[in-house]
Amino acid sequence: MAEAERIIGTPDTPDDGGEHTAAAGAPAGTGAGGQGATAARTGRGRRIAVLFAVAAFAYALDLVSKMLVVSRLEGHTPIQVVGDLLELHAIRNPGAAFGFGAAFTVIFTLIAAAVIVVIIRLARKLYSFPWAVALGLLLGGALGNLTDRIFRAPGVFEGEVVDFIAPKGFAVFNLADSAIVCGGILIVLLSFRGLDPDGTVHKD
């Protein structure tokens, strides 16, 4: 969490600049400094809105898909989508994404909860639209699987995740896993480009 704070934080935020301008004699919210601070707060608010909108969309899509799978596919013959290359096959997964680590269900539950807390905490310093999308995907995916961990059998924090997307020769996964992977890939690409969550660009 400390490392995440270091990456996303900046020593001097636009809010600080607005406060210094007001202290210099101009009323808060007036002049170039006040306008700059207001614009910065508006920009940050929009990025936060994007983050939670993406998270809500990913979470809702995952939740609805799992409800349909449980009611219409679980206990039935798998449905072939693209021949034998891709089928819909409902299973219950006690492990992490793609079925790994079945013996550590509680640990993965705690990790998912920690990821959600960190993302929400760091959102207040978010100024980058691409980072807002990436973090929104991570948040929505983590919430989707965490919901299964809490509310599904065999018990609270030990619930098994509903997986149903089964490519040939690959592990079975769900839309929450896909959102997490897409968000992670986007974060890697943004990091390679030197774009920080606060909107600044750096070169190593």
16 is catalytic: no
Three-class DSSP category at 24: coil
Q: Rounded to an integer, what distance in angstroms lies between the CA atom of residue 19 and that of residue 53?
A: 30
Q: Rounded to an integer, what distance in angstroms lies between the CA atom of residue 94 and that of residue 141?
A: 16
Count how many residues are written for the chain: 204
Q: What are phi and psi of 66, to 5 degrees?
A: -70, -35
Q: What is the DSSP letter of 16?
A: H
Cross-strand partners of 161: 93
Q: Rounded to an integer, what distance in angstroms lies between the CA atom of residue 39 and that of residue 196?
A: 19
Residue in 62, 148, 163, 198 annotated catalytic: 163
- Unique residue bearing structure tokens 């807002």: 132
15 is catalytic: no
Residue in 177, 196, 198, 204 annotated catalytic: 177
Omega prior to 154 cis, within 30 of 0:
yes
Q: Rounded to an integer, what distance in angstroms lies between the CA atom of residue 39 and that of residue 33?
A: 10
Task: List, in order, residues 6 or more apart from 147 with CB less than 8 Å away.
Answer: 59, 63
Which of the residues are catalytic?
A: 163, 177
